[in-house]
Every structure is written in structure tokens, then in C-alpha cells.
Amino acid sequence: MRVNKTGGELHDIFIGMRYLFVALGACLLTVGGLRLMGWAPLPETVKLDNARVRVKEVVYLPGVPRDRYTRPTDQVIVWLDDAKYQRLDSTTKEKTVRERKRGEILWHNKGEDAPVLTNLGSAPYRTLTIELK
């Protein structure tokens, strides 16, 4: 059975589709804006999670701060890319710039403060965070 749409019905469908696309675009812009302003968590992917270890790849986007937190476990950090970032000391509020080379490794103890870090580069850099359980 074939249904013919009138001009008014087609216009209503077209308007409805425009509203849908505007709403989807607004959602995407909101999420992107939150991430750029540092109000969204950094992208991370769990690569391995078992009873003894969790391995996460974390992507540090340019200009997006990583929130401060207390390390829940002993951690090994491995830089997968060269990086230049700003570290904001949680106690003194001192800002220091650090550079790391691909392949560098750093140890952190459980309970240590993980300060705010901001990627100062023009491209994202990645690290592996290896949490020992």
C-alpha cells in the first residue's frame, strides 16, 4: 500500500529532522566543550584487569587538566609518547613544567597525592598506568 504525503506533512517531518540534528549537534558540542575545559575525565582504556593488576592507557589531551586524586594502589607509569606537562602541587600550589620521553617509567606509592597535570603540548600524549592490587 502506498501512502502519499501532503506538502504540510513533509514539511513537518523535515522540521522534526532538523530539530533532531540540532539536538545531536548540541550534545556533541557540549561533551567536546566540557572535555576542552577540563570538566570531563581524560579518555582511558582498560587494557588488562585481573586479581593482581589493572593496566590502563590514559590519553592526555592538549590543555585538558587531569583531576587531582589519591593513588588507590601502588602504580607504575610508563610514557608511550614524549610529553611536556604542567604539574600543580596540591599543597603549595607551585606550578612546575616537566618533560618525559617515550619509554620513561615512574613508580608511585599507594596513598600518594596525584596532582593536577595539564598537557602543554599541541598533541595528545599517552601513558600506561599499571595499578598493582
- Residues 50-91: pLDDT tens digits? 999 999 999 999 999 999 999 999 999 999 999 999 999 999
Q: Is this model's pTM higher than 0.75 or not?
A: no
CA 106 vs CA 49, 76, 80: distances in Å:
20, 6, 12
| Cα–Cα distance measured from residue 5 to residue 15, given in angstroms and rounded to the nearest whole number | 15
Q: What is the DSSP letter of 62?
A: B
